[in-house]
Amino acid sequence: MSHVTEPRGWASQPLLERESEILAIHRAVDDLCGITDTGPAARRGGVLTFAGSAGIGKTTLLAEARRHAAERNCTVLFARGGEQEKQVPFHVMRQLIQPAFAAMTEAERHEVLGTWYNIVAPALGLTAAPEVPTAPDPQGVRDGLD
């Protein structure tokens, strides 16, 4: 399983001058959970992006998004792309969903993946690599993940 290093200190130190970004995060997560000031509402999905130069605080804001979502009892999937792992097939997808699958029993994995099990499970590293290594068919894995 991939481990991602969390930025240290973000939770214990106040985030300076990020009120509007934090408000945007909290609103987006609350929309996703169907929580409004006036009570329950329809759930609304969306995409929130943060861009900026290195060290400006993007990772810290993402950590806050995860913290807030976890506080709302959301299932939080997290992955991080890196220059070094560009060539590793399905690296980000593995990070994203492997922890959820790893927490399941083998029977549950079979149930979730159904007939795609034999294609998707090895690509996600959920089963031992085949004795004769073969590259997964990328389209097959994509279809299975869909």
3-state helix, strand, coil in the chain (%, to 5): 50, 5, 50
- Provide Rg for the chain, Cα atoms: 18
Can you read off the two tokens belonging to residue 100? 């959820």
Within 65-124, the residues that bind ligand ADP by CB under 6 A are none
Minimum Å gap between C-beta 82 and ligand ADP is: 13
Q: Using CB under 6 A, which of the segments 9-17, 32-40, 66-74, 119-127 binds ligand ADP?
A: 9-17
Q: Using CB under 6 A, which of the segments 16-24, 76-84, 110-118, 133-141 binds ligand ADP?
A: 16-24
Gap between the Cα atoms of 47 and 28, Å rounded: 8
* CB nearer ligand ADP, residue 10 or residue 116: 10
